[in-house]
Chain A
């Protein structure tokens, strides 16, 4: 619960530092929107990856009327709701203060919410699936981190491939504006597929109740 507001604050500090250094408005607006598109999804993915694998009384949980997979999904919903509240508040503040429109590739306020929603859901579903399959928060978070960082470091290579562009998490701040809507929808679809896989794993695996030997 602490991670999403922490990354928001860090992003705001970075933007304030740019403001203090006299950088242009577009650059500062890019950082502010980048907080929504880059840092909140990373927090969502890392959080979802940590939901499974270290329940000390998993066997007791298994004996409850509510199944363990349902409990995990509820945890995920709570985590994503918290991130949604923060993202809506932050984007509303950016729109109200005019910073949203100062980034040339920003979209209209309502569809523009996909700026953060699509990557948040995609990385959360990826972290949740990795956690369900591997039952190790460290490994699942590591996979989310590696996917996030690879997309950052190899961003220009991803731009050169139409297929890779569709899975680009950072298309608003580091991508091609023409692909934006399709990219956001592909990410949402990918999130649904990853989540369904995670559900299948959770409901079929006895091993879900215990993490990898830590």
Chain B
């Protein structure tokens, strides 16, 4: 536990101080203002504050995790690149605890700018519409919907670069993210709007009033992962993302252990 806390604290501080963590989110915010201003109408036209924040969250959730994954992709391979992995392995600190600490610390620090951007959107809505509940809903959506998605992305970003070059992972991840979350099922078979989509399709609809139906094109093989939206399926979706995250980290741990031997 001590190793986990120490590693998490160190990784958090190290990542938190990197200006790059803020730059990627800042660039996205500028792009949203420059070309996505029209999307504000879609957010503000929602029937209530909760739905408006769910719409805003889905838009941000579709865009922000690619920068998040890209920033985290070198966290685990870095120890070998700068040749400190052997030194760390020689310490009494347990390798699994160090991996968990690195995951928790670096993922948490990289998520902070995303939370800040969410809150800026909530406050802007509160000022415009006079309903300050928006900030509360944004925070709730971040915890219930965004964090499980980011946990999955963070685990993938730490694990996959152990078995493929980091630049290749970054490109494949962006391609996956677009295909698996942003492409509508009507366009082509995709994992978007399924229980496995890190965009949080089920949670947003069940808990936060996101008001667009799940698409189930006839004959789509992914329809088996698109049951009716309910509290059970929404919780199941979040649980599946958590399980996938744990499996990815377990895989990363196994790869690291094998390379240490």
Question: How far is it, in angstroms, between the C-alpha of A160 and the C-alpha of B174 when the chains are bound?
Answer: 25
Chain A residues 26 to 59 lying within 8 A of chain B, measured CB to CB, are 31, 39, 42-43, 46-47, 49-50, 54
* B63 surroundings in chain A (CB, below 8 A): 146, 149-150, 153
Question: How far is it, in angstroms, between the C-alpha of A141 and the C-alpha of B172 when the chains are bound?
Answer: 12
* 1/0 contact string of B147-180 vs chain A (CB within 8 Å): 0000000000000000001111011101101100
A7 and B175 contact, Cβ closer than 8 Å, known pairs A145-B170, A157-B39, A164-B35: yes
Cβ contact of B168, chosen from A3, A39, A158, cutoff 8 A? A3
Q: Is the CB of A139 within 8 A of B182?
A: no
Contact stretch, chosen from A85-93, A130-138, A179-187, A191-199: A130-138
- The interface size bin for chain A is 35 or more
* 1/0 contact string of B22-42 vs chain A (CB within 8 Å): 011001100110111011000
Question: How far is it, in angstroms, between the C-alpha of A139 and the C-alpha of B71 when the chains are bound?
Answer: 6
Question: How far is it, in angstroms, between the C-alpha of A211 and the C-alpha of B59 when the chains are bound?
Answer: 32
Q: Is B234 an interface residue (CB 8 A)?
A: no
Q: Is the CB of B167 within 8 A of A46?
A: yes
Closest A residue to B36 by CB, please name it.
A154
Cβ contact of A149, chosen from B167, B174, B188, cutoff 8 A? B174
- The interface size bin for chain B is 35 or more
Chain B binding surface SS class: helix
Q: Is the CB of A146 within 8 A of B189?
A: no
* B219 surroundings in chain A (CB, below 8 A): 21
Q: Is B260 an interface residue (CB 8 A)?
A: no
Q: Is A95 an interface residue (CB 8 A)?
A: no
Question: How far is it, in angstroms, between the C-alpha of A163 and the C-alpha of B182 when the chains are bound?
Answer: 24
* A139 surroundings in chain B (CB, below 8 A): 20, 23-24, 70-71
* A residues neighboring B (CB under 8 Å): 2-3, 6-7, 10, 14, 17-18, 21, 31, 39, 42-43, 46-47, 49-50, 54, 134, 136-139, 141-143, 145-150, 152-154, 157-158, 160-161, 164, 212-214
* B residues neighboring A (CB under 8 Å): 14, 17-20, 23-24, 27-28, 31-32, 34-36, 38-39, 59, 62-63, 66-67, 70-74, 78, 81-82, 165-168, 170-172, 174-175, 177-178, 182, 188-189, 219
